[in-house]
Structure 1
């Protein structure tokens, strides 16, 4: 059985897939590595919030979360730069180029 301690030792994206025995397309992981791992990190933080000492449940959640993120990218999910870099705020990028309001100068738009 895989343990949480072993999970904490993982570093490369491929290590996570191998750890959970998830088949993956190497090309997708090579091209979308940063996006997959960033989104996975965000998702698993939520899982750790609900972790109540049941390591098996948490390990199942961690595997499922990686599968979910990977499948999103496998099936064409392509986030915008604003989403990737965390600049999205209520669906709009801070100071978006298409915004002509005066608040653009302050760093956010009123679109």
Structure 2
């Protein structure tokens, strides 16, 4: 299995730090996990649109992005209420697009609240 394939199987925040052999404050990661991974996911999404010479260069980008985001939080970055509420304004209720911001099934379901409607057994009443 290639290193990039190993990376693609990671899911827990700590796994990403361990994969790159990075030191981190467990308490900070515990408290800011959601925000760190949200920002990291945004950086990974940007990488999909860039061209890298090799898998190693792509993994270097992934590592740098994680370091950069972590250092921002370590230095006191705190997301604004607008950033947090924007995340909750467009929740995704299906497992296939739970991290996708480009889900085609997100619709307004009630009074400006958006949700993924791709699963027929979900009720928004």
TM (normalized to structure 1)? 0.72
Question: In proportion to residue count, which structure has more helix?
Answer: 1
Residue 43 of structure 1, CA deviation:
1.0
TM (normalized to structure 2)? 0.64
Secondary structure of 1:49's match?
Answer: coil
Equivalent position of 2:43 in the other structure: 43
Q: Distance in 2 between matches of 1:64 and 1:13?
A: 15
Residues paired across the two proteins, number: 88
Unaligned runs of 5+ in 2: 88-111, 113-125
The structure showing larger relative contact order (alpha-carbon pairs under 8 Å, at least 6 residues apart) is 1
Q: Segments of 4+ in structure 1 off by > 6 A?
A: none
Q: Distance in 1 between matches of 2:81 and 2:46?
A: 23
Unaligned runs of 5+ in 1: 88-106
